[in-house]
Amino acid sequence: MPRGERTLRLQHGSRIEALCVLGGHVRADVFGAAPAGAVAFGVKHTEGVSVDVLFRGRAEPEAVPGAGTRWPLDEGTALRFSMSRASSEVNDNKVRSGILGMGPPRGRTSLRISLDVDADQDGVVEKNSPNKASWAWGPEGHGAILLVSCDKEFPFIPPSDCGHEQVFNREGTTAPQSALCPAFPLPPLRNLSREGTSPGTNPFFGQRYVQVLGRRKLFHAVPYPGGAAELDFFVEGLRFPDETFSGLVSIHVSLLEPLAEGIPHSPIFTDTVVFRVAPWIMTPSTLAPVNLFVCSMKDNYLFTKEIQTLAAKAGCKLKVCFGYINRGDRWMQDEIELGYTHAPHKSFPVVLDSPRERGMEQLPIKELLGPDFGYVHKEPLFEATASLDSFGNVEVSPPVSVAGKEYPLGRILIGSSFPAPAGRRMTGLVRDFLYAQRVQAPVELYSDWLAVGNVNEFVTFVPTSDKKRFRMLLASPAACYRLFREKQKEGQGQATMFKGYSGTDTKRVTINKVLSNDVLTQQNQYVQRCIDWNRDILKKELGLLEEDIIDLPALFKLDKQGKAVPYFPNTVTMIVLAKDLGIPKPFGPVAGGECCLERRIRALLEPLGLCCRFLEDVASYHGSLGEVRCGTNVQRRPFAFKWWHCTP
């Protein structure tokens, strides 16, 4: 029974001993317990208990003074008891109801029993919060928050926390855990009781815990310790919200009272607390960088030197992933997504490991997972993974406001095959996981027109210091054709592309040649339509105006399957480190000693306070259908905004 009114049966001629839970009422039917023919009754009680008389059909109860008054005994007449402080000894308070022939019900010991949590979200557990049994979103919301224990406290033991996560993923359905789940409707929980650690020890770093509740242990009996004893329980989440787990977890404590030998105990009080498991949150490229990750390969020494310079300039740390970990896989962006999780008392980064399993699969567990660095992995059981499962195909926008609806943590962008019939799509397990976090409502875009099929091939976001705070950059064949026509008109039609380019397309390509290539023109008209389709969705779903969008010149060509690949290094697939941009060097037509693409891009971005640095990535990345961004990854500072203040 939730805190509230509890029914107590008085017994004709008997003394009843009863426990009264502080904060609750006990209601006793006097009429029902009185002998036939009784017409009136009186009540006496000790000081620690307050007593009201309730009459059927009357809304207001009547308070009972210490002694003296008599009341008529009608059908429905009842007594209501409550106690304002816990008893110092058993049966220290008594109520005596004098009815003809009826003995005194008495011996009421009050008991404070309460599960306490941080329901007001200030990082401190409060006593018996009135809001602890429910969860509400928003700045005026309430409810306790549970972190997923997805980090690894001790570097020398295997990552057992994560093992659990994987076990849950593999088991999947809810059937097994529902069979014997009396009080704990949700499974992904491990409830720890501290034993023997000194008070004040951070429970997450202490060692001597005994598991009292969990997936296969759904209840735990504790003898009532008496007096004002407190028991400390520690709770950890074992799984982020996903398609089959809403994120809400209830824990109950029930007080059972013995009646007599050979008769089961009966329940007299239940207290409930509700936790929401904190979501996994993505960080947009507009947030400040903390660590920049890149792989050291045999062929990218110069590139990593340039990246090092860029990181130093942007004031973030460079973390190099060496060959024994990357095992020949250079696509740092695609293997992991660096996000974080957050509760009022703590926040830490969490890496989402892609279902894509190539050379670098050991990186997140071996190099990232550690104390206060969490790990989560989503791997489908049956489906093969494909290019759209790479995390270059998951981005997140900066905070946006869309027709009055706020997305203070931005919206996740996922590349998909929609609206084309059939095609490739990100695995449902990861998509469902992203949707289930709820605080960055995903938008699905159309990326399957690209050979690699990742959203970061046509869209990115850069920070600005103006009112809008950011611009969305889109790859734009139209902008490139416009630029090239301008240059042609200025008499630079013979300006040559790909100067010093180390890739395979080493023929002399001029502006005139590009503009007169009808096949290329048509292919780029098609690409522009595909990008415009996404542009229109992005404008609508992120609430953007034309002024919020910058079109970066880009050209694509179609491969034999009719999928688009960049014609020259795709500048939109840049790294964004605050104001410092590491942009794939486009090797555009050089006129007057300067690449007109670089010049145009500077002209578009530098007035916004951004600093463009063009990085040569042809041999090491672009030649294998990736760019600067695909070979790097950035751990960013978390949002200052608290996700529980969202209203999803």
Active site residue 162: no
107 touches its own copies (CB under 8 A): no
| 606 SS3 class | helix
Q: Which is nearer to its own copies, 104 or 415 (CB)?
A: 415
Q: Which stretch binds its own copies (CB under 8 A): 29-37, 387-395, 571-579, 602-610?
A: 29-37
Residues in Cβ contact with 492 at an 8 Å cutoff, skipping those fewer than 6 apart: 511, 589, 591, 596
78 touches its own copies (CB under 8 A): yes
Q: Which is nearer to its own copies, 124 or 175 (CB)?
A: 175
Nearest distance, CB of residue 450 and its own copies, angstroms = 11
Q: Which of 248, 537, 565, 611 binds its own copies (CB under 8 A)?
A: 537
> Residues 155, 179: contact at Cβ < 8 Å?
no
Q: Which stretch binds its own copies (CB under 8 A): 84-92, 153-161, 277-285, 416-424?
A: 416-424
Q: Which is nearer to its own copies, 454 or 620 (CB)?
A: 454
Distance of CA 199 to the CA centre of its chain: 30
Residue 46 token pair: 């000790």
Which amino acid, residue 585? K
Q: Residue 317 and residue 448: Cα distance in Å, rounded?
A: 34
381 touches its own copies (CB under 8 A): yes
Q: Which is nearer to its own copies, 478 or 611 (CB)?
A: 478
**How many CB atoms neighbour CB 348 within 10 A?**
17
| 343 SS3 class | strand
**Binding flags for its own copies, 198-237, as an x/- string (CB under 8 A):** --------------------xxxx----------------
Distance of CA 135 to the CA centre of its chain: 15
**Binding flags for its own copies, 40-59, as an x/- string (CB under 8 A):** ----------------xx--
Q: Residue 488 and residue 591: Cα distance in Å, rounded?
A: 11
Nearest distance, CB of residue 383 and its own copies, angstroms = 5
Residue 339 token pair: 């996000």
Q: Which stretch binds its own copies (CB under 8 A): 32-40, 392-400, 403-411, 597-605?
A: 32-40
Q: Which is nearer to its own copies, 1 or 125 (CB)?
A: 1
176 touches its own copies (CB under 8 A): yes
Q: Which of residues 548-577 bind its own copies (CB under 8 A)?
A: 551, 558, 562
Q: Which stretch binds its own copies (CB under 8 A): 305-313, 347-355, 429-437, 603-611?
A: 429-437
Nearest distance, CB of residue 32 and its own copies, angstroms = 6
35 touches its own copies (CB under 8 A): yes
Q: Which stretch binds its own copies (CB under 8 A): 223-231, 262-270, 454-462, 590-598?
A: 262-270
Q: Which of 532, 559, 594, 606 binds its own copies (CB under 8 A)?
A: 532
Residue 213 token pair: 């509740």
Residue 515 token pair: 């503009």
| 206 SS3 class | coil
Residues in Cβ contact with 196 at an 8 Å cutoff, skipping those fewer than 6 apart: 208
Residue count of the chain, please give it: 648
> Residues 586, 571: contact at Cβ < 8 Å?
yes
Residue 418 is classified by DSSP as T
Sort 643 into a burial class: Cβ within 10 Å, 0-12 / 13-18 / 19+.
Answer: buried
Nearest distance, CB of residue 323 and its own copies, angstroms = 34
298 touches its own copies (CB under 8 A): no
Backbone angles phi, psi at 410, to 5 degrees: 75, -175
254 touches its own copies (CB under 8 A): yes
Nearest distance, CB of residue 632 and its own copies, angstroms = 30
Nearest distance, CB of residue 569 and its own copies, angstroms = 23
Nearest distance, CB of residue 21 and its own copies, angstroms = 12
Nearest distance, CB of residue 2 and its own copies, angstroms = 6
Q: Which of 183, 318, 325, 565 binds its own copies (CB under 8 A)?
A: 183
Q: Which residues pair with 168 in a beta bridge?
A: none
Q: Which of residues 437-456 bind its own copies (CB under 8 A)?
A: 446, 448-449
Active-site entry in 20, 321, 530, 630: 630
Nearest distance, CB of residue 134 and its own copies, angstroms = 13
Q: Which is nearer to its own copies, 255 or 611 (CB)?
A: 255
Q: Which is nearer to its own copies, 272 or 309 (CB)?
A: 272
Peptide bond into 419 cis (omega under 30): yes
Q: Which of 15, 94, 96, 252 binds its own copies (CB under 8 A)?
A: 252
Q: Residue 250: in which H helix or E strand, if any?
A: strand 248-257
> Residues 324, 297: contact at Cβ < 8 Å?
no
> Residues 374, 350: contact at Cβ < 8 Å?
yes
Nearest distance, CB of residue 451 and its own copies, angstroms = 12
Q: Which of residues 581-640 bind its own copies (CB under 8 A)?
A: none
Q: Which is nearer to its own copies, 294 or 542 (CB)?
A: 542
Nearest distance, CB of residue 250 and its own copies, angstroms = 10
Provide the strand spans (E) within 84-232. 95-99, 108-111, 144-146, 189-194, 209-213
Angle between helices 477-487 and 518-542 (to 10 degrees): 130
244 touches its own copies (CB under 8 A): yes
Angle at 544 between CA 543 and CA 549, to 5 degrees: 160
Q: Which of 68, 199, 200, 262 binds its own copies (CB under 8 A)?
A: 262
256 touches its own copies (CB under 8 A): yes
> Residues 385, 356: contact at Cβ < 8 Å?
yes
417 touches its own copies (CB under 8 A): yes
Q: Which is nearer to its own copies, 421 or 500 (CB)?
A: 421
Q: Which is nearer to its own copies, 7 or 624 (CB)?
A: 7
Count of residues touching its own copies (by CB under 8 A):
99
Q: Which is nearer to its own copies, 1 or 611 (CB)?
A: 1
> Residues 510, 496: contact at Cβ < 8 Å?
yes
Dihedral, CA of residue 98, residue 99, residue 104 and residue 105, to nearest 10: -110
**Which DSSP string do the residues of 551-589 spell out, in sequence order?**
EEE--EEE-TTS-EEESS--TTS-EEETTEEEEE-----
Q: Which of 108, 164, 239, 535 binds its own copies (CB under 8 A)?
A: 535
Tokens 């063009």 belong to residue = 614
> Residues 361, 398: contact at Cβ < 8 Å?
no
Q: Which of residues 476-505 bind its own copies (CB under 8 A)?
A: 478-479, 482, 485-486, 489-490
Of 80, 7, 75, 71, the residue nearest 36 (C-alpha): 75
158 touches its own copies (CB under 8 A): no
Residues noted as catalytic = 630
